[in-house]
Amino acid sequence: MSNVGIVIVSHSPLVAEGTADMVRQMVGDEVPLAWCGGNGHGGLGTSVEAIMGAIDKAWSEAGVAILVDLGGAETNSEMAVEMIGEPRSHRIIVCNAPIVEGAVMAATESSGGASLKEVVATAHELSPS
Amino acid sequence: MAASDFSRLIAAAADTIAAHAGELTALDQAIGDGDHGLNMKRGFEAVRAEADAFAAKPLPEALKAVGTKLVMTVGGASGPLFGTLFMALGKELPPAPDRNGLAAALGKAIEAVAARGKSQVGQKTMLDVLQPVYEALAQGKTASEIADAADKAAEATVPMKALRGRASFLGERSIGHMDAGARSTALLVRAVAEAIEGI
């Protein structure tokens, strides 16, 4: 699939899965999508290993946009991108956007064949700063 | 550094984290999400389990392996932050560093941690311990003086207002509590400083 992939990373697996459900229902199946949540030990949190796995699952040659919730999810996602390494790391961007709205808007943009830059810009419009 | 010495440093670090896990969790419960002690213990026990394999590598590679293991096992935001510290030290250290080489590498590693956490000194984080440790190291202080500087720096986070990390959500209410990451950093500095003195 050549559409930009979307990865959802929440501290809570329920939030991550629920957000992915909303994306699937509102946007459909034309967008590579993966989610992860929880610290890997049954608690709330995020895991670099799980994030790397989700990026692999949603991987697209057009790139991957990651939507995160709280700070640790962002830090862990940036770490995961770095550990995935070049050249793929150049085509993965952690978005600064609210997780639910950002995921739905980014996926909507992606489903129309937009570039990674356009997908990320659409998500960022939700966080004026 | 001999492989047995590196193993000894890992054991000292893992021992102090295990011995203080309850205290670290209590600090984190006050102004964070209360998982710091458990997370750090899990990470350093995972490193301890592979200490001999890591120690067999050249020092820079060994430190990178420790950092990667911490990233994968600590969880929370502490995993990438402490992991980056060790990975960057490994990247910057020459195979047989002298004090100047060590200080220069620590300086670079602190920059890497600051970039990873989008933070800087004065925001009630581990950086508030790392920076004085770097300065003490660069000034030629003894191992025990460096460990004391780390403890003092961790204490100095008590009156600070948190500007990064989960504690920053509390704003003014973060004042009056020691930062858990600053405390764990000081514990690690003391453990390593005392172990190095014995080598």
pLDDT, tens digit, 9 for 90 and up, residues A8-65: 999 999 999 999 999 999 998 999 999 999 988 888 889 999 999 999 999 999 999 9
**Nearest C-alpha in A relative to B117:** A75
Q: Say if the Cβ atoms of A48 and B79 lie within 8 Å.
A: yes
**Would you say residue A34 lies in a domain?**
yes
Which pLDDT band, with edges at 50, 70 and 90, does B95 fall under?
confident
Phi, psi for residue A37 in degrees, rounded to 5: -165, 150
Q: Say if the Cβ atoms of B68 and A46 lie within 8 Å.
A: no
Q: Say if the Cβ atoms of B71 and A70 lie within 8 Å.
A: no
Q: Write the CATH number for A104.
A: 3.40.50.510
**Would you say residue A120 lies in a domain?**
yes
**Nearest C-alpha in B relative to A83:** B68
Tokens of B91: 């990247």
- DSSP label of B58: -
Q: Residue B199 has what pLDDT?
A: 66
Global model pTM greater than 0.95: no
Of residues B71, B75, B117, nearest to A45 (C-beta): B75
CATH fold label, B3-197: 1.25.40
In whole angstroms, give the CA distance from residue A129 to residue A126. Answer: 9
**Would you say residue A19 lies in a domain?**
yes
| The one catalytic residue among A11, A41, A90, A124 | A11
Q: Residue B94 has what pLDDT?
A: 87
**Would you say residue A129 lies in a domain?**
no
Mutate to test the interface with B, among A79, A82, A84 (most CBs of B within 10 A): A79
Q: Say if the Cβ atoms of B33 and A44 lie within 8 Å.
A: yes
Structurally, chain A folds into a number of domains equal to 1
The identity of residue B142, as a single letter, is T
Residue A41 annotated in active site: no
Asked whether the beta carbons of A66 and A9 are under 8 A apart, the reply is: yes
Domain positions in chain B: 3-197
* Residue A62 domain boundaries: 5-124
Of residues A39, A43, A48, nearest to B71 (C-beta): A48
